[in-house]
Chain A
Amino acid sequence: MEISLGGQGHEASSHASHIDEEGKVRVGMLFYVIVDIMFALFLISAYVFLRGVNVNNLWFPDGTKNIDLTQTTIQTGLMVASGLCFVLAHWAVRQGIGGLVKLGITLAALLWIATLIYSIQYMGHLPFTQAGGGFASMYVLFTGYHIYHLLLGLMFVIGLTVRTLQGRYTRERHMGITTIGYYWYWVVIFGVIGYLLPIILPGPLH
C-alpha cells in the first residue's frame, strides 16, 4: 500500500481533521437503533407466528379479560406527547430559539418519566397474568420490553435535559439532540406499534 506522509501537519491529538466526529456518532447511534429495530421485528414476528398457529383456543383461555383500551391509549398518548415535544425542541434548536429548546426537552423528559411510571403501574394491574395463554405471554413481553427501554433510556433523557438546560446545544452544534432523537423516536414508534398490534391482530376472545 502506498502512502505519503505530510500534508496533515503534526497531530498529537486523536481528533484528526479528516474524521467527521459528528458523523461518527450519528452512524453509531443509527446502527444501534437498527439493532433495536431487529429485536422489535423478531418480537412482532413471534406475535404474528403465535397468533397464526394458535392451537386449542389458548390465545385467550376461557375466563381471561382483554386489555383495557382506555388505559393503553393513555399510556401511548403520554409517549407520543413526549415524542412531539421532542420534535418541537429539535425544530427549535435548528432555528436557534434557545428558550423553546429547553422547554421542549424538559417537557419531553417529564412526559417520558410519566410514561415510565404509568407503564409500570399499568403492567402491574393487567387483567391477566403472564401465565394466561399465548396473548398474555406476548403482551407481557412487549410491555416489559418497552418498559426496559424507557428505563435504560432514562440515562439519555436525564443527561440530555441537564445538558440542554446548561445551554450546550446551539444551532450549529446540537449532535446530542439529533442522535438521541433517533433513540427517542424509536421508543415512541415501538410504543405505538405495541399499542396497535393487539388492535390489528387480536384474537378470539371467549
Chain B
Amino acid sequence: MSWTRKLVPSYFSGAVLAAIGFIVGSQYVWRVIGGVNWDLNDPGASGNFLEQGFLAGFVLMTLGWLIGIGAFKYPFTWMLGLKDPDHNEELRLAGKDAGIIRYFRFTTDHKVVGIQYLVVTMIMLAFGGLGAMLIRTELMFPGAWAFPKETYNTIVTMHGMLMILTIISFFVGPFGNFVIPIMIGARDMAFPRLNALSIAFLIIAMAVYAFIPFMGIGDPLTTGAGVQTGWTVYGTLADQTGIGVDALALAVILAGVSSQMGAVNLITTVIAMRAPGMSYTRMPMTVWGSIGASILSALGTASLTVDLVMIVMDRVFRTSFFFAATAGDFANNGYIGGGSAWLTQNLFWFFGHPEVYLLVLPAFGFVMDVTSVFARKPLFGYKTAILGLMGVVVLSFLVWMHHEFVSGFLPELRGFYMASTELISVPTGLIFLVLLGTMWRGRIWMTVTMGFVFAFTWSFLIGGITGIYLSDVPADVQLHGGMFVTAHFHYTIVGGALMGFLGAVYYWFPKMTGRMMDEKIGWISFWGIQIGFNGTFLAMFYVGLQGMPRRVADYSPLFAGGNLVASISAFVLGASVILYFYNVIYSWKAGPIAEANPWGAKTLEWTTPTPVPLENFGEIPVVTSGPYNYAEPATPSGVPARGVEAGPAIG
C-alpha cells in the first residue's frame, strides 16, 4: 500500500486538518470579527473575543479532526444513498492486513480500539499523575513555595478533571472494548464504527484539554493561566476565572460524548450480541460491572454537559444562569441576575455522584471475576453480586445532595440524603460478602493481579467506612471541604478503580499483547504502590482531622508534619507507578511469550488463541454453563486446561 493510502485517512491526516481547523476558526474570530491583532498580550485584545476565538478554533479543530480521520465517510455514503459497504470493505475498515498503521487511524476492530484506549488512557494517567506529583511538591512545605497560588489552583483543577476523565475510560475503554465482546462470544461490538468514533472523540478531547495551561497567560483581566475552580467548576467562580475554563468545558463535553457513545455501544452489544447459550446469568461479573457503569454514564453525563454549556453561555453570551442578584462585582460587568448559584451545585452533583460509582463499578465486577479465577472457586453468590452492583446503580442517583449538606439548599432534605447515602453502603457491602466468600477455602494463587484484589479490598474498605462518616450530617458539617474528604475519595477511587485497573492490565496483558508482564517488577511496583498510597492518604486523613482545607497552596504550620509525610509517600507512589508503566512497556516488547490461557480461567476470552484472530472465533461457541465452572475439566479444544485436573471437589 502506498504511503498516501496508508496515511489518508489516518490520525495523521486528522491532526493536520485539526490544526488547520483551529487556525481557521480562531483567526476568523480574532481578525475578521474581532479585529484584534496577532499579539495576544496586547491590552487591546478584548477578553471576550479572545474566548470566542478559542471556542471557534476548538469547534473547527474537532470538526477538522473528524473529517481528517475519515469519520464522515460512512455517514455521507449512507446519507447520499450510495452503495452500502460490502464485507471486504468492512474487513478493511477493521484493519485487515493493514499492519501497524491500523492503530493510528479510524479502525473498527474492537481489539484495535481496545489497545488504542489502553495507550491513550495510560498517557492520560501519566499526566494526571504528574499533576499529583506537582501538587504534593507544593504541599510538602507550608507556603506557596513551589508555584504561585493561581498556578497551584490550575494544577489542582487539571489533575482532578484529568484523572476523572481517565478513570471513566480506563476500564471500559481498553477492557470493555477488547475483552467483553470476546467474553460474551461476539465477533465485535454492536456498532464498530461508533466504537472507533468514541476513541477519536477522546483523543480530540485531550487535545483541547492540553490547551488549558496555556490559555490566559498574561491576560491582565484574569488571575493567571488555566482554570482555577477545582474540578467541580462551580458556575460562580467559573464565570469569573480565566479563559482556560472554556477549553475545560469543551474538552469535558467531548469526553462525555465519547463516554456516552461507548456506554450505548456496550449496553447494546451485551443485549444483542451474546453467543447462543450465554444467558444474562452466565456472563462474567466484569460484564455486569461495565454495564452498571455504562448505565450511569448514559443517564448522568448530560447533567454535567448542561452545567458546562451554561458556564460557557454565561461567560461568552452574558446569560445569567448562575448570577443571582445584581450585588457585587458582577453588576459592573453588565450581568443581569435571575439565576441561581445553587443551580450549578445541583447540576454538577447530580452527575458527580453517579459519576464516582461509574468509576468503581467496572473494578467491582473485575475483582469479583478474578478472585474466582485465582481461588479456583465459583463466585460466592452470583445473584448477590448482581444485586450489589445494580443496587449501587439505582441508589447512586438518590444521594447527590450529600455534597450540599452545608450549602443551605433545602436543609430539610438532609435527613433523607443521610439515609440514602448510608443505605448505599448495603449493596456495596454485598460486594465484600461475595469477595470474602469466594476467597474462603479456595486455592488462592497469589499473582500480582490477586495482590491488587487484596489491595482493593483493604483500600475500598477504608474508603467506604470514611464515607459513612461523611454521610452523617453533623460529622460532615465539620469535615466537608477539608482534606478528610480528599483522602476519602482517593481511597475509594485510587484504592478501588486504580487497583482494579492495574490488576486488569496485568491479567489481560497476555491476551492483548501475547506476552506476560514481568512478575518480579510487578511485585516491586505493587508494594511500592501500597506503601506510597497508604502513606500519602492516611497522613491526609490526619491533616484533614486537624482542620486543613482542600485546594490550598498555603496552609497553617499545624499541618506541616502530616503534609511532609504525605508528600514523601506520594513520591514513592509516583515512582512505583512509573515502575509499573516501565513493566508494561518493557514486557510489551520483550516479555516472555504467553500461552493462550496462562491463568487457567474459564471465561470465553481465554478460549481464543493469542493473538486473537480478526473476527475472534472461527465458529461462534454455544455456551452450556456458567463462567466459573472449575469442576469441569475440559477446555473447548478437548485438552484439559493446564493445572485444572478432573476429579471430585475437595471438601
Contacts and interface: CB of A to CB of B under 8 A. Distances in A.
A, B in one complex: yes
Interface of A: 1-14, 16, 18-20, 23-24, 27-28, 31-32, 34-35, 38-39, 41-43, 46, 49-50, 53-56, 58-59, 61, 130-138, 140-141, 155, 158-159, 162-163, 165-166, 168
Contacts of B604: 1, 3
B80 A56 contact: no
B318 A130 contact: yes
Interface string B590-624: 00000000000011100100000001001111111
Q: Which of B268, B303, B320, B338 has the most CB of A within 10 A?
A: B338
A8 B337 contact: no
Contacts of B190: 24, 27-28
A46 B306 contact: yes
Contacts of B79: 155, 158-159, 162
A56 B337 contact: yes
B191 interface: yes
A136 B323 CA distance: 13
Interface stretch (B37-45, B50-58, B339-347, B478-486): B339-347
Interface string B186-211: 11101100100000000000000000
Enumerate the 9 nearest inter-chain pairs by beta-carbon distance, A residue then B residue, closest first: A134-B338, A58-B338, A137-B319, A3-B621, A159-B79, A133-B338, A131-B318, A162-B81, A24-B272
Interface of B: 75, 78-81, 87, 90, 185-188, 190-191, 194, 260, 263-265, 267-268, 271-273, 275-277, 282, 298-303, 305-306, 309-310, 313-314, 317-321, 324-326, 334-340, 342-343, 346-347, 350, 602-604, 607, 615, 618-627, 629, 632, 634, 636
B350 A19 contact: no
B271 A2 contact: no
Contacts of A35: 260, 264, 298-299, 301-302
Nearest to B342: A53
Contact of B343 (A9, A20, A50, A59): A50
A128 to B, nearest CB: 10
Q: Which of A27, A43, A46 has the most CB of B within 10 A?
A: A46
Given A32-B264, A155-B79, A137 B620 contact: no
B339 A134 contact: yes
Nearest to A57: B338
B338 A14 contact: no
A24 B81 contact: no
B306 A56 contact: no
A55 B342 CA distance: 12
A54 B325 CA distance: 10
A14 B90 contact: yes
A58 B325 contact: yes
B378 to A, nearest CB: 11
Contact of B339 (A6, A50, A168): A50
